[in-house]
């Protein structure tokens, strides 16, 4: 296939570029800047995807079979809320519309923050655990709201152009060898810990790559949404007990067992045959080279 990847020099995007190139696909990587090194099988281009002309020209020129859209301002407090919202929504609209006109299926990065708990002003609990794709969405920040609008645009593109659009809702994306989770775990005390809106869930970047691959190998009809999370939390403690202690309660409907993740991936397992393979216990001890074109 020819696969066009936006956000090609970003965290998850660079791993996606590397994986598809390694599998022998022709990859076009788009970002605001080109990486310091070339990568065999990859054409890197600079573009501002909030500009309709640049976005449409690139997608029409390279005529990809699939588009993987991971370009975005990735969270709040990087720039202004207005800039975060407008950048994410405008770029997503342009990419979806151009991909639809090219007849290319799309997989893109939504977010678990779409439920509203991650960046909430006042911590709150969902209606039930584990949270799944059917849970109500109540974002109250510009980043999560941009993802909510993005999912509506995904549905629009699928209906209008007859393409498959898959919205991936990844948890906190982690990387092999990173000690960020370890530092949180080592200092964690349920008596004093601040409420965590993603309930200490995570997903290894390699599992993000594999769910993107799974969605392109078995594209759903129309628009579908899938959570992507590891099977457990990264604290190594019973999830329900931790949530109850930190949040001072649990929803009545809670079926979490042991260290089970607060987010369910049953739909992805059932429909895509995908399941996270990497755990924090293994990942923190691993030494794995990332995409070399970024060095």
The position carrying tokens 């369910």 is 264
Q: What pLDDT score does 295 carry?
A: 85
Average pLDDT over the chain reads 97
Q: How many CB atoms lie within 10 A of CB 206?
A: 19
C-alpha 112: how far from its chain's center?
Answer: 8
> What is the C-alpha to C-alpha distance for residues 229 and 189, in angstroms, rounded to an integer?
23
Encode pLDDT of 117-174 as tens digits.
Answer: 999 998 899 999 999 999 999 999 999 999 999 999 999 999 999 999 999 999 999 9
Give, in order, the Cα–Cα distances in Å from 143 to each of 50, 113, 123, 205.
16, 8, 17, 20
CA distance 232 to 294: 30
Q: How many domains does the chain have?
A: 1
CATH number at residue 7: 3.40.50.720
Res 201: pLDDT: 98
What was the pLDDT predicted at 123? 87
Contact, 85 vs 142, CB < 8 A?
yes
pLDDT of 26 above 90: yes
pLDDT bracket for residue 263 (50, 70, 90): very high
> Tens of pLDDT along 72-122?
999 999 999 999 999 999 999 999 999 999 999 999 999 999 999 999 998
Could you say which DSSP state residue 194 is in? Answer: P
Grade residue 279 by pLDDT with cuts at 50, 70 and 90. Answer: very high
Euclidean distance between CA atoms 113 and 137, whole angstroms: 9
Which pLDDT value is given to residue 92? 98
- For residue range 199-235, list pLDDT tens digits in order: 999 999 999 999 999 999 999 999 999 999 999 999 9
Angle at 214 between CA 97 and CA 148, to 5 degrees: 45
Confidence at residue 142, expressed as pLDDT on a 0 to 100 scale? 98
The parent domain of residue 76 ranges over 2-294
**pLDDT per residue over 53-76, tens digit each?**
999 999 999 999 999 999 999 999
């Amino acid at each position: 296939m020819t696969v066009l990847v936006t956000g090609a020099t970003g965290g998850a995007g660079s791993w996606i570029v590397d994986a598809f190139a390694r599998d022998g696909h022709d990859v076009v990587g788009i970002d605001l800047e080109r990486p310091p090194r070339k990568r065999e099988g990859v054409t890197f281009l600079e573009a501002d995807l909030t500009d309709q002309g640049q976005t449409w020209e690139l997608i029409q020129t390279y005529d990809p079979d699939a588009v993987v859209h991971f370009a975005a301002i990735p969270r709040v407090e990087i720039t202004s809320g207005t800039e975060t919202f407008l950048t994410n929504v405008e770029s997503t609209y342009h990419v979806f519309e151009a991909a639809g006109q090219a007849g290319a299926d799309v997989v893109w990065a939504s977010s678990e923050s779409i439920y509203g708990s991650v960046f909430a002003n006042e911590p709150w609990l969902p209606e039930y655990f584990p949270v799944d794709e059917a849970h109500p969405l109540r974002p109250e920040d510009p980043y999560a709201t941009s993802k909510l609008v993005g999912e509506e645009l995904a549905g629009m593109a699928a209906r209008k152009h007859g393409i498959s659009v898959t919205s991936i809702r990844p948890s906190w994306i982690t990387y092999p060898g990173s000690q960020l989770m370890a530092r949180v775990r080592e200092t964690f005390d349920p008596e004093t810990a601040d409420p965590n809106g993603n309930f200490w869930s995570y997903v290894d970047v390699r599992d993000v790559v594999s769910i993107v691959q799974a969605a392109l190998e078995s594209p759903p009809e129309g628009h579908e949404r899938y959570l992507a999370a590891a099977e457990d939390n990264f604290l190594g403690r019973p999830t329900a007990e931790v949530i109850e202690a930190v949040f001072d309660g649990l929803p009545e409907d809670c079926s979490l067992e042991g260290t089970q993740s607060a987010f369910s991936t049953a739909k992805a397992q059932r429909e895509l045959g995908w399941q996270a393979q990497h755990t924090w216990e293994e990942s923190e001890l691993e030494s794995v080279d990332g995409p070399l074109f970024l060095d």
